[in-house]
Structure 1
Amino acid sequence: MRIARIAVDGRELHARADGDAWVPIEDPYAAFAAGTGAADTGERVDGCDATLLAPALPTVLVGIAQNRGAEPEPPLPVQAWLKSPRGVVPHGTTVRVRREAGRVVAEAEIAVVIGRDTGDPGDGLVTEANAHEFVLGVTAVNDLSYPDRAALDVRNFESKGGDGSTPLGPWINTEASIDDLVLRLEVDGEVVCDSSAQEMPVPVRESIAYVARWLRLGPGDVIMAGAPHSSHEVAAGSTVSVVVGGLRLETPLR
Protein backbone atom coordinates (compact mmCIF):
# COMPACT_ATOMS: atom_id res chain seq x y z
CA MET A 1 0.00 0.00 0.00
CA ARG A 2 1.11 3.58 -0.68
CA ILE A 3 0.25 5.68 2.37
CA ALA A 4 0.40 9.46 2.13
CA ARG A 5 -0.55 12.42 4.28
CA ILE A 6 -2.75 14.94 2.53
CA ALA A 7 -4.35 18.27 3.35
CA VAL A 8 -7.90 18.82 2.14
CA ASP A 9 -10.55 21.29 3.34
CA GLY A 10 -8.42 22.33 6.30
CA ARG A 11 -7.92 18.72 7.44
CA GLU A 12 -4.78 16.60 7.48
CA LEU A 13 -5.49 12.96 6.65
CA HIS A 14 -3.73 9.68 6.07
CA ALA A 15 -4.77 8.30 2.71
CA ARG A 16 -3.97 5.51 0.30
CA ALA A 17 -3.42 6.06 -3.39
CA ASP A 18 -6.17 4.86 -5.74
CA GLY A 19 -5.34 5.86 -9.29
CA ASP A 20 -5.48 9.66 -9.51
CA ALA A 21 -7.48 9.92 -6.29
CA TRP A 22 -6.88 9.45 -2.56
CA VAL A 23 -8.89 7.28 -0.22
CA PRO A 24 -8.61 8.49 3.41
CA ILE A 25 -7.83 5.75 5.91
CA GLU A 26 -7.85 5.30 9.67
CA ASP A 27 -4.65 5.78 11.67
CA PRO A 28 -2.13 3.45 9.94
CA TYR A 29 0.11 3.29 13.02
CA ALA A 30 -2.68 2.08 15.29
CA ALA A 31 -3.61 -0.50 12.67
CA PHE A 32 0.02 -1.60 12.32
CA ALA A 33 0.39 -2.05 16.08
CA ALA A 34 -2.81 -4.10 16.09
CA GLY A 35 -1.56 -6.26 13.24
CA THR A 36 -4.30 -5.18 10.86
CA GLY A 37 -4.60 -3.01 7.78
CA ALA A 38 -5.85 0.55 8.10
CA ALA A 39 -9.52 0.66 7.09
CA ASP A 40 -10.96 3.15 4.62
CA THR A 41 -13.06 5.93 6.15
CA GLY A 42 -15.59 5.82 3.33
CA GLU A 43 -14.43 9.06 1.73
CA ARG A 44 -12.75 9.68 -1.63
CA VAL A 45 -10.69 12.75 -2.52
CA ASP A 46 -9.88 13.85 -6.05
CA GLY A 47 -6.15 14.26 -6.49
CA CYS A 48 -6.44 17.87 -7.63
CA ASP A 49 -8.32 18.77 -4.41
CA ALA A 50 -5.56 17.55 -2.08
CA THR A 51 -2.16 18.92 -1.11
CA LEU A 52 0.52 16.30 -0.54
CA LEU A 53 2.27 16.62 2.84
CA ALA A 54 5.38 14.91 4.16
CA PRO A 55 4.32 11.26 4.66
CA ALA A 56 5.51 11.15 8.27
CA LEU A 57 5.91 13.63 11.13
CA PRO A 58 8.86 12.21 13.08
CA THR A 59 9.51 13.14 16.67
CA VAL A 60 12.90 11.50 16.24
CA LEU A 61 14.88 11.77 12.99
CA VAL A 62 18.09 9.70 12.92
CA GLY A 63 20.81 9.65 10.27
CA ILE A 64 23.23 6.77 9.80
CA ALA A 65 26.79 7.94 9.20
CA GLN A 66 29.69 6.33 7.36
CA ASN A 67 27.40 4.00 5.40
CA ARG A 68 28.81 4.78 1.99
CA GLY A 69 30.71 1.67 0.95
CA ALA A 70 33.89 3.71 0.54
CA GLU A 71 37.38 3.73 2.02
CA PRO A 72 38.71 3.15 4.59
CA GLU A 73 38.28 -0.59 4.66
CA PRO A 74 37.06 -2.47 6.59
CA PRO A 75 33.91 -0.34 7.04
CA LEU A 76 33.53 1.60 10.26
CA PRO A 77 30.99 0.26 12.76
CA VAL A 78 27.49 1.69 12.52
CA GLN A 79 27.25 5.28 13.75
CA ALA A 80 24.18 7.49 14.12
CA TRP A 81 23.40 11.16 14.61
CA LEU A 82 20.27 13.22 15.22
CA LYS A 83 18.73 15.70 12.78
CA SER A 84 15.99 18.22 13.49
CA PRO A 85 12.53 17.03 12.38
CA ARG A 86 11.71 20.68 11.63
CA GLY A 87 13.83 20.39 8.49
CA VAL A 88 11.40 17.89 6.93
CA VAL A 89 9.54 19.17 3.85
CA PRO A 90 7.23 17.39 1.37
CA HIS A 91 7.85 16.20 -2.16
CA GLY A 92 7.90 19.11 -4.61
CA THR A 93 8.83 21.78 -2.06
CA THR A 94 11.32 24.34 -3.39
CA VAL A 95 14.31 24.59 -1.03
CA ARG A 96 16.51 27.67 -0.79
CA VAL A 97 20.22 26.88 -1.02
CA ARG A 98 22.28 28.61 1.65
CA ARG A 99 24.90 30.52 -0.34
CA GLU A 100 26.91 31.42 2.77
CA ALA A 101 27.41 27.75 3.70
CA GLY A 102 29.58 26.71 0.74
CA ARG A 103 28.98 23.68 -1.42
CA VAL A 104 25.64 21.87 -1.22
CA VAL A 105 25.42 18.11 -1.69
CA ALA A 106 22.32 16.01 -2.25
CA GLU A 107 22.36 12.57 -0.65
CA ALA A 108 19.83 9.99 -1.84
CA GLU A 109 18.84 7.75 1.05
CA ILE A 110 16.28 5.15 2.05
CA ALA A 111 14.07 6.45 4.85
CA VAL A 112 12.66 3.83 7.21
CA VAL A 113 9.38 4.85 8.87
CA ILE A 114 8.90 3.19 12.25
CA GLY A 115 5.43 1.72 12.73
CA ARG A 116 5.27 0.94 16.43
CA ASP A 117 7.03 1.48 19.76
CA THR A 118 10.43 -0.21 19.88
CA GLY A 119 10.33 -0.44 23.67
CA ASP A 120 12.91 0.23 26.33
CA PRO A 121 16.35 0.18 24.67
CA GLY A 122 17.65 -1.98 27.48
CA ASP A 123 15.13 -4.73 26.73
CA GLY A 124 16.61 -5.54 23.32
CA LEU A 125 13.23 -6.05 21.66
CA VAL A 126 14.52 -5.05 18.22
CA THR A 127 17.10 -7.29 16.59
CA GLU A 128 18.50 -7.53 13.08
CA ALA A 129 16.31 -10.57 12.50
CA ASN A 130 13.01 -8.92 13.49
CA ALA A 131 13.73 -5.28 12.61
CA HIS A 132 11.24 -5.35 9.72
CA GLU A 133 8.45 -6.11 12.18
CA PHE A 134 8.76 -2.57 13.55
CA VAL A 135 8.75 -0.85 10.14
CA LEU A 136 5.55 0.56 8.68
CA GLY A 137 7.29 1.09 5.36
CA VAL A 138 9.95 3.01 3.48
CA THR A 139 10.06 6.29 1.65
CA ALA A 140 12.67 8.45 -0.06
CA VAL A 141 14.72 11.15 1.63
CA ASN A 142 17.19 13.74 0.38
CA ASP A 143 19.73 14.55 3.09
CA LEU A 144 20.78 17.98 1.82
CA SER A 145 24.20 18.76 3.28
CA TYR A 146 26.84 21.47 3.35
CA PRO A 147 30.14 19.58 3.61
CA ASP A 148 32.30 22.71 3.90
CA ARG A 149 30.65 23.44 7.26
CA ALA A 150 31.50 19.98 8.58
CA ALA A 151 35.16 20.98 8.93
CA LEU A 152 34.08 23.58 11.50
CA ASP A 153 31.14 21.70 12.99
CA VAL A 154 31.80 18.00 13.48
CA ARG A 155 28.39 17.54 15.16
CA ASN A 156 26.60 18.26 11.84
CA PHE A 157 24.44 21.03 13.32
CA GLU A 158 25.27 23.46 10.50
CA SER A 159 26.12 21.04 7.71
CA LYS A 160 22.92 18.99 8.07
CA GLY A 161 20.45 21.44 9.62
CA GLY A 162 18.24 24.26 8.52
CA ASP A 163 14.88 24.76 6.85
CA GLY A 164 14.22 22.33 4.02
CA SER A 165 17.27 20.19 4.78
CA THR A 166 15.24 16.96 4.70
CA PRO A 167 12.86 16.55 1.75
CA LEU A 168 10.82 13.40 2.49
CA GLY A 169 8.27 11.48 0.45
CA PRO A 170 6.20 11.42 -1.56
CA TRP A 171 4.50 8.59 0.36
CA ILE A 172 5.25 5.43 2.37
CA ASN A 173 5.50 2.11 0.58
CA THR A 174 4.38 -0.51 3.08
CA GLU A 175 5.28 -3.44 0.84
CA ALA A 176 8.90 -2.58 -0.01
CA SER A 177 11.72 -4.76 1.29
CA ILE A 178 14.25 -3.06 3.57
CA ASP A 179 16.93 -5.41 2.27
CA ASP A 180 16.81 -4.92 -1.50
CA LEU A 181 15.89 -1.50 -2.89
CA VAL A 182 17.11 0.46 -5.87
CA LEU A 183 18.57 3.82 -4.83
CA ARG A 184 19.22 6.50 -7.43
CA LEU A 185 19.98 10.21 -7.56
CA GLU A 186 19.06 12.35 -10.57
CA VAL A 187 19.81 16.01 -11.23
CA ASP A 188 17.66 17.73 -13.86
CA GLY A 189 16.64 14.32 -15.17
CA GLU A 190 20.20 12.98 -15.52
CA VAL A 191 21.22 9.96 -13.43
CA VAL A 192 24.31 10.98 -11.43
CA CYS A 193 24.37 8.18 -8.82
CA ASP A 194 23.05 4.64 -9.12
CA SER A 195 23.17 2.42 -6.05
CA SER A 196 21.08 0.09 -3.88
CA ALA A 197 20.46 -0.99 -0.31
CA GLN A 198 22.71 -3.97 -0.92
CA GLU A 199 25.72 -1.69 -1.40
CA MET A 200 25.52 -0.44 2.18
CA PRO A 201 28.29 -1.80 4.42
CA VAL A 202 25.76 -1.66 7.26
CA PRO A 203 22.44 -3.27 6.22
CA VAL A 204 19.26 -1.30 6.89
CA ARG A 205 18.02 -3.82 9.46
CA GLU A 206 21.31 -3.59 11.36
CA SER A 207 20.96 0.19 11.51
CA ILE A 208 17.41 -0.11 12.88
CA ALA A 209 18.51 -2.56 15.57
CA TYR A 210 21.47 -0.36 16.51
CA VAL A 211 19.38 2.79 16.92
CA ALA A 212 16.72 0.93 18.92
CA ARG A 213 19.40 -0.32 21.34
CA TRP A 214 20.18 3.27 22.30
CA LEU A 215 16.97 5.20 21.71
CA ARG A 216 13.28 4.45 22.05
CA LEU A 217 11.52 4.96 18.72
CA GLY A 218 7.82 5.38 18.11
CA PRO A 219 5.23 5.59 15.34
CA GLY A 220 6.28 7.97 12.58
CA ASP A 221 9.91 8.25 13.61
CA VAL A 222 12.37 8.06 10.73
CA ILE A 223 15.80 6.50 10.23
CA MET A 224 17.79 7.69 7.22
CA ALA A 225 19.87 4.67 6.32
CA GLY A 226 22.90 6.34 4.71
CA ALA A 227 24.16 7.18 1.22
CA PRO A 228 26.04 4.32 -0.50
CA HIS A 229 27.63 5.97 -3.56
CA SER A 230 24.50 8.14 -3.79
CA SER A 231 25.63 11.71 -3.12
CA HIS A 232 26.43 14.46 -5.60
CA GLU A 233 27.17 18.18 -5.51
CA VAL A 234 24.23 20.28 -6.69
CA ALA A 235 23.40 23.96 -7.15
CA ALA A 236 20.56 26.45 -7.04
CA GLY A 237 18.37 26.22 -10.12
CA SER A 238 18.52 22.43 -10.31
CA THR A 239 15.81 19.89 -9.56
CA VAL A 240 17.02 16.92 -7.54
CA SER A 241 15.22 13.57 -7.68
CA VAL A 242 15.74 10.73 -5.23
CA VAL A 243 14.46 7.36 -6.42
CA VAL A 244 13.89 4.59 -3.85
CA GLY A 245 12.34 1.50 -5.41
CA GLY A 246 9.23 2.83 -7.16
CA LEU A 247 9.19 6.11 -5.21
CA ARG A 248 10.38 9.40 -6.72
CA LEU A 249 11.01 12.42 -4.49
CA GLU A 250 11.60 15.68 -6.36
CA THR A 251 13.08 18.85 -4.86
CA PRO A 252 13.67 22.05 -6.85
CA LEU A 253 16.52 24.20 -5.49
CA ARG A 254 16.64 27.97 -5.66
Structure 2
Amino acid sequence: MRIARFSTDEGMSFGVVEENTVAAVAAHPFGELTFTGHRFPLADVRLLAPILPSKVIAIGKNYAEHAEEMGGEAPAEPLIFAKPSTSVIGPGEAIAYPEKLSERVDHEGELALVIGRMCREVPASRAAEVILGYTCANDVTARDLQARDGQWTRAKGFDTFCPLGPWIETEADPADLAISTSVNGEVRQSARTSQLIHDIPRLVEYVSQVMTLLPGDVILTGTPAGVGPLEVGDEVTVTVENVGTLTNRVIARD
Protein backbone atom coordinates (compact mmCIF):
# COMPACT_ATOMS: atom_id res chain seq x y z
CA MET A 1 0.00 0.00 0.00
CA ARG A 2 1.23 3.47 -0.89
CA ILE A 3 0.11 6.10 1.61
CA ALA A 4 0.46 9.66 0.36
CA ARG A 5 -0.16 13.08 1.79
CA PHE A 6 -1.54 15.40 -0.85
CA SER A 7 -3.30 18.67 -1.48
CA THR A 8 -6.11 19.72 -3.81
CA ASP A 9 -8.32 22.78 -4.10
CA GLU A 10 -10.34 21.21 -1.29
CA GLY A 11 -7.39 21.11 1.12
CA MET A 12 -4.85 18.61 2.44
CA SER A 13 -5.51 14.93 3.07
CA PHE A 14 -3.91 11.53 3.40
CA GLY A 15 -4.77 8.94 0.79
CA VAL A 16 -3.88 5.62 -0.76
CA VAL A 17 -2.33 5.69 -4.22
CA GLU A 18 -3.96 3.11 -6.49
CA GLU A 19 -2.53 3.13 -10.02
CA ASN A 20 -3.44 6.60 -11.35
CA THR A 21 -5.78 7.69 -8.56
CA VAL A 22 -5.62 8.65 -4.90
CA ALA A 23 -8.34 7.43 -2.55
CA ALA A 24 -8.67 9.87 0.34
CA VAL A 25 -8.73 8.59 3.92
CA ALA A 26 -10.13 10.24 7.01
CA ALA A 27 -7.78 11.63 9.65
CA HIS A 28 -4.28 10.12 9.80
CA PRO A 29 -2.78 6.91 8.38
CA PHE A 30 -1.98 5.30 11.74
CA GLY A 31 -4.21 2.40 12.63
CA GLU A 32 -7.10 1.14 10.53
CA LEU A 33 -7.75 3.32 7.49
CA THR A 34 -11.19 4.79 6.89
CA PHE A 35 -11.84 5.86 3.30
CA THR A 36 -13.92 8.97 2.70
CA GLY A 37 -15.16 7.87 -0.71
CA HIS A 38 -13.41 10.74 -2.49
CA ARG A 39 -11.01 9.85 -5.29
CA PHE A 40 -8.72 12.14 -7.24
CA PRO A 41 -6.67 11.58 -10.40
CA LEU A 42 -3.05 11.36 -9.33
CA ALA A 43 -2.12 13.90 -12.02
CA ASP A 44 -4.50 16.45 -10.46
CA VAL A 45 -3.10 16.42 -6.91
CA ARG A 46 0.07 17.84 -5.42
CA LEU A 47 2.05 15.26 -3.48
CA LEU A 48 3.45 16.64 -0.23
CA ALA A 49 6.02 15.23 2.16
CA PRO A 50 4.27 11.98 3.13
CA ILE A 51 4.52 12.82 6.82
CA LEU A 52 5.45 15.77 9.05
CA PRO A 53 7.47 14.05 11.77
CA SER A 54 8.03 15.27 15.30
CA LYS A 55 11.67 14.36 14.71
CA VAL A 56 13.98 12.98 12.05
CA ILE A 57 16.75 10.71 13.33
CA ALA A 58 19.51 9.99 10.85
CA ILE A 59 22.29 7.42 10.81
CA GLY A 60 25.81 8.39 9.78
CA LYS A 61 28.39 6.21 8.03
CA ASN A 62 26.16 3.15 7.72
CA TYR A 63 27.66 1.92 4.44
CA ALA A 64 31.32 0.85 4.62
CA GLU A 65 32.35 2.52 1.35
CA HIS A 66 30.73 5.80 2.38
CA ALA A 67 32.56 5.71 5.72
CA GLU A 68 35.77 5.21 3.76
CA GLU A 69 35.09 8.08 1.36
CA MET A 70 34.49 10.33 4.38
CA GLY A 71 37.96 9.47 5.66
CA GLY A 72 37.12 7.23 8.57
CA GLU A 73 36.18 3.76 9.68
CA ALA A 74 32.62 2.58 10.06
CA PRO A 75 31.44 3.02 13.67
CA ALA A 76 30.96 -0.07 15.80
CA GLU A 77 27.56 1.23 16.89
CA PRO A 78 25.04 3.26 14.89
CA LEU A 79 26.03 6.91 14.73
CA ILE A 80 22.85 8.91 15.25
CA PHE A 81 22.08 12.59 14.76
CA ALA A 82 18.92 14.64 14.35
CA LYS A 83 17.51 16.84 11.62
CA PRO A 84 14.79 19.34 12.59
CA SER A 85 11.25 18.80 11.39
CA THR A 86 11.50 22.17 9.63
CA SER A 87 14.04 20.69 7.22
CA VAL A 88 11.39 18.40 5.70
CA ILE A 89 10.02 19.10 2.21
CA GLY A 90 8.14 16.96 -0.27
CA PRO A 91 8.60 15.75 -3.84
CA GLY A 92 8.95 18.54 -6.37
CA GLU A 93 9.74 21.15 -3.73
CA ALA A 94 12.97 23.10 -3.99
CA ILE A 95 16.15 22.55 -1.99
CA ALA A 96 17.33 26.05 -1.04
CA TYR A 97 21.12 26.39 -1.33
CA PRO A 98 22.35 28.80 1.42
CA GLU A 99 25.05 30.41 -0.70
CA LYS A 100 25.80 33.11 1.87
CA LEU A 101 26.74 30.47 4.44
CA SER A 102 28.01 27.45 2.53
CA GLU A 103 30.13 26.80 -0.54
CA ARG A 104 29.56 23.01 -0.66
CA VAL A 105 26.14 21.36 -0.40
CA ASP A 106 25.97 17.61 -1.03
CA HIS A 107 23.25 15.10 -1.85
CA GLU A 108 22.87 11.95 0.26
CA GLY A 109 20.20 9.60 -1.06
CA GLU A 110 18.75 7.20 1.52
CA LEU A 111 16.01 4.77 2.41
CA ALA A 112 13.89 6.17 5.25
CA LEU A 113 11.51 4.35 7.55
CA VAL A 114 8.38 5.84 9.12
CA ILE A 115 7.31 4.81 12.62
CA GLY A 116 3.71 3.67 12.92
CA ARG A 117 3.04 3.81 16.65
CA MET A 118 4.52 5.18 19.85
CA CYS A 119 7.27 2.92 21.10
CA ARG A 120 10.44 2.69 23.13
CA GLU A 121 13.03 -0.01 23.82
CA VAL A 122 11.89 -2.08 20.87
CA PRO A 123 13.86 -5.33 20.43
CA ALA A 124 15.19 -5.88 16.94
CA SER A 125 13.04 -8.99 16.59
CA ARG A 126 9.90 -6.83 16.90
CA ALA A 127 11.01 -3.80 14.88
CA ALA A 128 8.65 -4.59 12.00
CA GLU A 129 5.69 -4.21 14.38
CA VAL A 130 6.36 -0.49 14.87
CA ILE A 131 7.23 0.46 11.27
CA LEU A 132 4.44 1.91 9.14
CA GLY A 133 6.48 1.79 5.94
CA TYR A 134 9.31 3.21 3.89
CA THR A 135 10.00 6.27 1.75
CA CYS A 136 12.85 7.92 -0.14
CA ALA A 137 14.97 10.59 1.51
CA ASN A 138 17.78 12.99 0.74
CA ASP A 139 19.96 13.94 3.73
CA VAL A 140 21.17 17.20 2.17
CA THR A 141 24.35 18.40 3.88
CA ALA A 142 26.43 21.57 3.87
CA ARG A 143 29.69 19.64 3.79
CA ASP A 144 32.00 22.56 4.51
CA LEU A 145 30.00 23.53 7.60
CA GLN A 146 30.01 19.93 8.79
CA ALA A 147 33.81 19.92 8.68
CA ARG A 148 34.10 23.39 10.21
CA ASP A 149 31.71 22.88 13.11
CA GLY A 150 32.94 19.50 14.26
CA GLN A 151 29.31 18.44 14.77
CA TRP A 152 26.51 18.18 12.28
CA THR A 153 23.48 20.14 13.46
CA ARG A 154 23.94 23.26 11.36
CA ALA A 155 25.22 21.44 8.29
CA LYS A 156 22.22 19.14 8.11
CA GLY A 157 19.55 21.32 9.68
CA PHE A 158 18.81 24.02 7.11
CA ASP A 159 15.24 24.47 5.97
CA THR A 160 14.60 22.21 2.91
CA PHE A 161 17.53 19.88 3.72
CA CYS A 162 15.35 16.79 4.23
CA PRO A 163 13.30 15.94 1.14
CA LEU A 164 10.98 12.96 1.72
CA GLY A 165 8.59 11.14 -0.61
CA PRO A 166 6.81 10.52 -2.78
CA TRP A 167 4.74 8.32 -0.43
CA ILE A 168 5.04 5.70 2.30
CA GLU A 169 5.24 2.17 0.92
CA THR A 170 3.93 -0.21 3.56
CA GLU A 171 4.69 -3.53 1.85
CA ALA A 172 8.34 -3.20 0.81
CA ASP A 173 10.89 -5.64 2.21
CA PRO A 174 13.82 -3.37 3.12
CA ALA A 175 16.42 -6.13 3.43
CA ASP A 176 17.82 -5.89 -0.12
CA LEU A 177 16.54 -2.94 -2.18
CA ALA A 178 18.44 -1.10 -4.90
CA ILE A 179 19.00 2.57 -4.07
CA SER A 180 20.38 5.22 -6.41
CA THR A 181 20.86 8.96 -6.60
CA SER A 182 21.23 10.88 -9.84
CA VAL A 183 21.93 14.54 -10.57
CA ASN A 184 20.68 15.90 -13.89
CA GLY A 185 20.26 12.30 -15.04
CA GLU A 186 23.80 11.20 -14.12
CA VAL A 187 23.96 8.41 -11.54
CA ARG A 188 26.08 9.46 -8.57
CA GLN A 189 25.18 6.81 -5.97
CA SER A 190 24.21 3.17 -6.49
CA ALA A 191 24.01 0.47 -3.82
CA ARG A 192 21.72 -2.04 -2.13
CA THR A 193 20.26 -1.88 1.36
CA SER A 194 21.74 -5.32 2.02
CA GLN A 195 25.04 -3.44 2.33
CA LEU A 196 23.89 -1.52 5.41
CA ILE A 197 26.32 -2.10 8.27
CA HIS A 198 23.55 -1.85 10.86
CA ASP A 199 20.32 -3.20 9.43
CA ILE A 200 16.88 -1.70 9.99
CA PRO A 201 15.82 -3.87 12.96
CA ARG A 202 19.08 -2.95 14.70
CA LEU A 203 18.52 0.75 14.00
CA VAL A 204 15.01 0.72 15.45
CA GLU A 205 16.27 -1.12 18.52
CA TYR A 206 19.20 1.26 19.00
CA VAL A 207 17.31 4.52 18.51
CA SER A 208 14.34 3.46 20.62
CA GLN A 209 16.69 2.69 23.51
CA VAL A 210 17.58 6.39 23.53
CA MET A 211 14.24 8.10 22.89
CA THR A 212 10.55 7.45 22.59
CA LEU A 213 9.49 7.27 18.96
CA LEU A 214 6.13 8.74 17.98
CA PRO A 215 3.84 7.90 15.07
CA GLY A 216 5.24 9.58 11.97
CA ASP A 217 8.80 9.89 13.24
CA VAL A 218 11.36 9.18 10.54
CA ILE A 219 14.67 7.32 10.67
CA LEU A 220 17.07 7.87 7.78
CA THR A 221 19.05 4.66 7.44
CA GLY A 222 22.29 6.01 5.95
CA THR A 223 23.68 6.95 2.57
CA PRO A 224 25.93 4.85 0.30
CA ALA A 225 29.18 5.97 -1.30
CA GLY A 226 29.14 8.59 -4.03
CA VAL A 227 27.96 11.67 -2.18
CA GLY A 228 28.82 14.83 -4.04
CA PRO A 229 28.11 18.50 -4.60
CA LEU A 230 24.93 20.10 -5.83
CA GLU A 231 24.72 23.39 -7.70
CA VAL A 232 21.89 25.86 -8.11
CA GLY A 233 19.76 24.65 -11.02
CA ASP A 234 20.52 20.94 -10.50
CA GLU A 235 17.78 18.34 -10.38
CA VAL A 236 18.49 15.54 -7.89
CA THR A 237 16.59 12.26 -7.87
CA VAL A 238 16.61 9.47 -5.28
CA THR A 239 15.10 6.14 -6.31
CA VAL A 240 14.52 3.16 -4.03
CA GLU A 241 13.42 -0.11 -5.56
CA ASN A 242 9.80 -1.06 -4.75
CA VAL A 243 9.36 2.24 -2.89
CA GLY A 244 9.42 5.15 -5.33
CA THR A 245 11.28 8.10 -6.79
CA LEU A 246 11.88 11.48 -5.16
CA THR A 247 12.95 14.44 -7.29
CA ASN A 248 13.85 17.97 -6.17
CA ARG A 249 15.43 20.96 -7.86
CA VAL A 250 18.09 23.15 -6.25
CA ILE A 251 17.49 26.91 -6.05
CA ALA A 252 19.35 29.78 -4.42
CA ARG A 253 18.14 30.60 -0.94
CA ASP A 254 16.71 34.10 -0.65
TM-score by length of 2: 0.90
Secondary structure, counterpart of 1:211 in structure 2: helix
Of residues 188, 210, 230, the one that matches 1:214 is 210
Q: Return the alpha-carbon distance in structure 2 between the equivalents of residues 148 and 180 of structure 1.
A: 32
Q: Return the alpha-carbon distance in structure 2 between the equivalents of residues 127 and 231 of structure 1.
A: 32
Over the aligned positions, Cα root-mean-square deviation in angstroms equals 1.6
Q: Return the alpha-carbon distance in structure 1 between the equivalents of residues 103 and 233 of structure 2.
A: 16
1:161-204 alpha-carbon deviations (Å, 9 max, x no partner): 11110111010100011222211011111211111111111112
Q: Return the alpha-carbon distance in structure 2 between the equivalents of residues 67 and 74 of structure 1.
A: 7
1:26-62 alpha-carbon deviations (Å, 9 max, x no partner): 432022xxxxxx2322111123432211101100110
1:83-127 alpha-carbon deviations (Å, 9 max, x no partner): 1010100101122212231211100011100001114xxxx3x11
Secondary structure, counterpart of 2:53 in structure 1: coil
1:2 maps to 2
2:110 maps to 109
Structure 1 residue 230 displacement after superposition: 4.8
1:41 maps to 36
1:75–1:201 contact (8 Å) kept in structure 2: no
Deviates more, 1:76-85 or 1:66-75: 66-75
1:130 maps to 126
2:173 maps to 177
Secondary structure, counterpart of 1:160 in structure 2: helix
Deviates more, 1:75-84 or 1:99-108: 75-84
After TM superposition, list the pairs within 5 Å mapping 1:172-211 onto structure 2.
Answer: 172-211=168-207
Aligned residue identity for 2:218? V
Q: Return the alpha-carbon distance in structure 2 between the equivalents of residues 82 and 66 of structure 1.
A: 14
Deviates more, 1:133-142 or 1:13-22: 13-22
Q: Return the alpha-carbon distance in structure 1 between the equivalents of residues 192 and 208 of structure 2.
A: 23
Aligned residue identity for 1:86? T
Aligned residue identity for 2:185? G
1:253 matches 2:250 = yes
**Structure 2: stretches of 5+ with no match in the other structure:** none
2:236–2:248 contact (8 Å) kept in structure 1: yes
Secondary structure, counterpart of 2:175 in structure 1: coil
1:123-151 alpha-carbon deviations (Å, 9 max, x no partner): x3x11111111110000000110111012
Secondary structure, counterpart of 1:207 in structure 2: helix
TM-score by length of 1: 0.90
Q: Percent identity?
A: 33
